[in-house]
Amino acid sequence: MQEKQVLFDTADTILDKAIRIDVDVLNPRWWERLGIKLRWLPAKRTFHIKPATLGNMIRISRLLLDIDVMPYKGDLTTLDANYQVLNKHGDALAEVIATAIVNTKSGPTKSMISFIKENLTSSELMDIAMVIVKQLNVVPFMTTIISIRGVSLLNPKEKIAFGGPSED
């Protein structure tokens, strides 16, 4: 994505607008290939990623917690570690993206997850992941938790009463 488009997308996120994503159908099935050739089916699929609901934020967070953030442990080379991460967490990443796209309690279908795995390049994956991070927008969620709990922003271990100073 270009920098200007990212700025427009950020503005749309603030305004709670859906962000449009176009994905080329790279691996169509035989009947899809025929439909594309005859112009009955589009060569691209369009998705709209809306700001995530609280339930969807929880579902995506659960999926992301299963992904190992320290893949370079042990005696593995960088290339081996990359292959291991792809093997272990590629399906989870596809499910995260599909979950963000559908943004419903029922979650994505297996065919949607399969479409994501078979039709996104790594650069498209990164671009879409950035859009998803913007649409998750966890800052208001954390602010709400802090407001409800009365936690001091300066010292998270201190609780303060609303409108009153903190006690030592």
User: pLDDT tens across 62-107, in order?
Assistant: 998 888 777 667 787 888 888 888 888 889 999 999 999 999 999 9
Q: What angle do CA 48, 135, 23 make, to 5 degrees?
A: 35
Is 159 a member of any domain? no
**Pair of tokens at residue 140:** 């208001």
Is 154 a member of any domain? no
Is 161 a member of any domain? no
Is 47 a member of any domain? yes
State the total domains in the chain: 1
Specify the pTM.
0.71
Q: Provide the terminal-to-terminal Cα distance of the chain, rounded to the nearest Å.
A: 50
Name the residue range of residue 29's domain.
3-149
Distance CA 38, CA 98 (A): 28
**Pair of tokens at residue 101:** 């796209």
